[in-house]
Amino acid sequence: MSEKTSIIHVLLIGIDHYKPNRLYKSLKGAVRDINLIETYLKTDLQVPPERIRKLIAPNPEDTVLLEVRSAQEEPTYENIVKAFKEITATAQPGEQVYIHYAGHGGRATTVYPNLKRGTGEQNDEAIVPMDIGDTEKGRYLRDVEMTTLLKRMTDKDLIVTLILDSCHSGGATRGDAEIRSGAQTDTLKRTSESLVASQEELERNWLEETGHQGIRVAGFPEARKYVLLAACRPNEYAYEYVPSSGTERHGALTYWMIDTLASAAKSGQPLTYKLLHDRVTAQIQSKFSQQIPMILGESDRRVFESDRWSTPLTVSVIKVVSDTQITLNAGQAQGLSKGTRFSIYPLNTTDFTDQTCQVAIVELTQVNASESMARVLKPEEGGIEITGKLEPGAPAIMVSAPIELIQRVRLTDSKTVGEQESELPSELVDLQKEALDKVRQALAGNGWVVEEQAGESALYQVAIDRQGNYEICKGKPIPNLRPLLSINDPDAPQRVVDRLIHLAKYQAVQSLDNASSKLAQVLEVQLLTEDRQPFPDPQNLVVKNEEIVRLRLSNRGARPLKVAVLDLEPTWAVSQIPIGGIDSPFFPLDAGAEEEIPLRLKVPDDPAYEQSTEILKVFAVQQGLADFRWLTLPALDQPLTTRGAMFDQDLAAQSVTRSGESEGINPLNDLLKMIGADLDQAPKTTRAAIVVVDPRQEWVTKQVQIVVKR
């Protein structure tokens, strides 16, 4: 156990046996999940037994588990609430609380209509205690109650990790796998009486923590205060099954979580919850396409520890078809095209600067909406000898940018003497060529920006301004590139190139489009005033500094959408906006549903900005994992976090209310700095193919542009 691991208090809840009821049949793997976790905690982390509390209900048909069961309390509603309260009282500030629930998840008609009326969501998400079938006192532990239970922990500065190996809503049985949920929404009229808190306190905490009414996923405290790893998303399935390597039934999430932890222990590499989630997701997706685990909160926190660890946001291998073919979880919607190449690294890799660790080089052969097929290249094709195992969850780094994303720059060293803005003082004219030759040398080897050649057109131009600084132009000088870079600064040429690369990546995200998609008629995006009124001129959106607006997303189709919103900020940052208070790769927008995101728009705190332009870009897909986090960028000239750096939790916090400036760091993102800039392989431009936008591809983007004035 790491020296940085604080004291851990554990609550384990496993329910196989449910008292007779009309919705939830007994399971066979939940208690085994809890025993698996308990063994790991005791053996690998050496957590003392007195700090582990178990509430279990074995299946009566499982005589083995019934015989070994000791005097643990049963996971009734009353006992679960009691356990939450006692562990909160026992744990001290700065200590960890680990909660693992395995059992049924349910959805029931809300008993909090004041909170959820008018939101389009009239149900409560819940975990299902074993005594739900009791006619008089059978109760769910509902999302509104969980909000208060977890808020009490985070208010006490406890470091909370919550694992839910259950469904959010209904499903059915498939093959030899059981789904951990009821068959339908529970509409039975049940008591609103709670053992957690008074109705007034529950409602107050819900509104305080969610920031608005009707949050789609259980209204847990702000994501930055905890880690939640859930088996699936709303309207998806959480399976339990017998893995091919075993003989006993387990929940897919718990089984692959323990398998990943064991793999990480062997490799000796640091493991964050984000890396854990990526590997578990890939393994589950290879078995159950209708189950996508969800991670919220401090995903950069190391597993069972309190410190934060910077790792790149990478693409992941989600399926290994053969030794020569794999599937990656990114596609056209993320700007990829046929011919793009990726380097595959071993599981749990955190340092991507050592290219000797590469497992293989792959090239995309088929690019779908949000996933792609790739073939493993042989050494004579530009690949390498396979040095390790290709397996689901392995991270992939792009090593050749698609040719259509590469931008050209003109280096202009022909300004003449004069007083105009486009001319130079006499003492600077003769310095132009030498200064721009240094930029030309710094351009060599990067895969995003190349110098314009004869017959080509350039998007950017680099020249010298009248004060002896480098200027980057796009038609005219791009404003507000800070700090100024003097031609006398020896580091300036490389910083100019770094800025060009950053701007090219920003441009790449901005240019992603698929307007001819059939989903263009399905996804509706509107910007409304704070009181939900339309703007007089939707094509010319102008708001005042600090004004609050609402971005409304509507699904007018018959199938759910997976949506994400990227904010292209005036500081040249690209950040992802949480939807419904959820900091997650994507948000599930049900058929016919609407979701509103309250936003406070603000001009950056820089006197150079009299006004600013904010672009909100909405992505939607129907299939695949839909992870757009690897497209994010920090503000221009904001240093990227170095490998292994620890984050200040306050700086890492992301506010649900967005401003026009970056309110915190954009964690983990070294990936886009690495693409084509500091890896050896240059883009294979002769092999890349231009993306052919296919209206049958199930992805679309829409954007709104807003001018913010002081």
Concatenating the DSSP letter of every residue in 466-499 gives TTSBEEEEESEEPS--SS--BTT-TTHHHHHHHH
Q: What are phi and psi of 86, to 5 degrees?
A: -70, -40
Q: Tell me, what's the pLDDT at 622?
A: 84
Which of 59-63, 266-270, 509-513, 544-548 is the most confident on average?
544-548
- Banded model confidence at residue 99, pLDDT cuts 50, 70, 90: very high
Q: Tell me, what's the pLDDT at 174?
A: 22
Unique residue bearing structure tokens 């009282």: 89
Instruction: Identify whether the C-beta of residue 251 lies closer than 8 Å to the C-beta of residue 231.
Output: yes
Coil, strand, or helix at residue 417? strand
- Cα distance between the two ends of the chain: 53
Residues linked to residue 272 through DSSP beta bridges, in sequence order: 302
Picking from 402, 395, 369, the residue whose alpha carbon sits closest to that of residue 314 is 395
CA-to-CA distance for 275 and 693, rounded, in angstroms?
Answer: 32
Q: Tell me, what's the pLDDT at 86?
A: 97
Give the rounded percent of residues in the chain with a pLDDT score beyond 90: 40
Q: What is the average per-residue pLDDT within 288-310? A: 83
- Integer angstrom CA distances of residue 639 from 105, 490, 626, 665: 43, 18, 27, 10
Residue 289 has pLDDT above 90, yes or no: no
Residue 517 has pLDDT above 90, yes or no: no
Q: Tell me, what's the pLDDT at 182?
A: 61
Picking from 200, 79, 196, the residue whose alpha carbon sits closest to that of residue 143 is 196
Give me the domains of the chain, ranges plus CATH numbers: 8-297 (3.40.50.1460), 315-404 (2.40.10.410), 405-510 (3.40.50), 512-667+693-709 (2.60.40.10)
- Banded model confidence at residue 647, pLDDT cuts 50, 70, 90: very low
Q: What is the average per-residue pLDDT within 447-462? A: 90
- Integer angstrom CA distances of residue 159 from 5, 243, 302, 708: 11, 32, 12, 38
CA-to-CA distance for 341 and 375, rounded, in angstroms?
Answer: 10
Q: What is the average per-residue pLDDT within 551-577? A: 92
Which has the minimum average pLDDT: 89-93, 599-603, 631-635?
A: 631-635
Look at 99 and 67; give whichever has higher pLDDT.
99
Residue 356 has pLDDT above 70, yes or no: yes
pTM summary value:
0.70
Q: Tell me, what's the pLDDT at 682?
A: 31
Residue 459 has pLDDT above 60, yes or no: yes
CA-to-CA distance for 541 and 705, rounded, in angstroms?
Answer: 7
- Banded model confidence at residue 556, pLDDT cuts 50, 70, 90: very high
Please state, rounded to an integer, the average pLDDT across all residues of the chain: 80
- CA angle, residues 42, 43, 46, in degrees to nearest 5: 55
- Banded model confidence at residue 178, pLDDT cuts 50, 70, 90: low
Q: Which amino acid type is present at position 101?
A: Y
Give the rounded percent of residues in the chain with a pLDDT score beyond 70: 82
Sheet containing strand 470-474, edge to edge, reads 449-451, 407-411, 460-464, 470-474, 476-477
Q: What is the average per-residue pLDDT within 90-105? A: 94
Q: Tell me, what's the pLDDT at 55?
A: 96
Residue 73 has pLDDT above 60, yes or no: yes
Q: What does the pLDDT look like over 236-275, one tens digit per residue?
A: 778 887 887 777 889 899 999 999 898 888 777 778 898 8
- Integer angstrom CA distances of residue 66 from 17, 21, 39: 11, 21, 18
Instruction: Identify whether the C-beta of residue 400 lies closer than 8 Å to the C-beta of residue 341.
Output: yes
Residue 366 has pLDDT above 60, yes or no: yes
Which of 146-155, 432-441, 566-575, 680-689 is the most confident on average?
432-441
Look at 578 and 177; give whichever has higher pLDDT.
578
Instruction: Identify whether the C-beta of residue 307 lies closer than 8 Å to the C-beta of residue 313.
Output: no
CA-to-CA distance for 666 and 638, rounded, in angstroms?
Answer: 10
Q: What does the pLDDT look like over 625-636, one tens digit per residue?
A: 677 877 888 888
- Banded model confidence at residue 414, pLDDT cuts 50, 70, 90: very high
Q: What are phi and psi of 529, to 5 degrees?
A: -70, 175
Q: What are phi and psi of 508, to 5 degrees?
A: -60, -45
Picking from 240, 226, 213, 202, the residue whose alpha carbon sits closest to that of residue 153 is 226
Q: What is the average per-residue pLDDT within 539-568? A: 92
Q: What is the average per-residue pLDDT within 137-152? A: 90
How many C-beta atoms lie closer than 10 Å to residue 462's C-beta?
A: 26
Q: Tell me, what's the pLDDT at 299?
A: 82
Q: What is the average per-residue pLDDT within 52-75? A: 77
- Banded model confidence at residue 685, pLDDT cuts 50, 70, 90: very low
CA-to-CA distance for 581 and 246, rounded, in angstroms?
Answer: 39
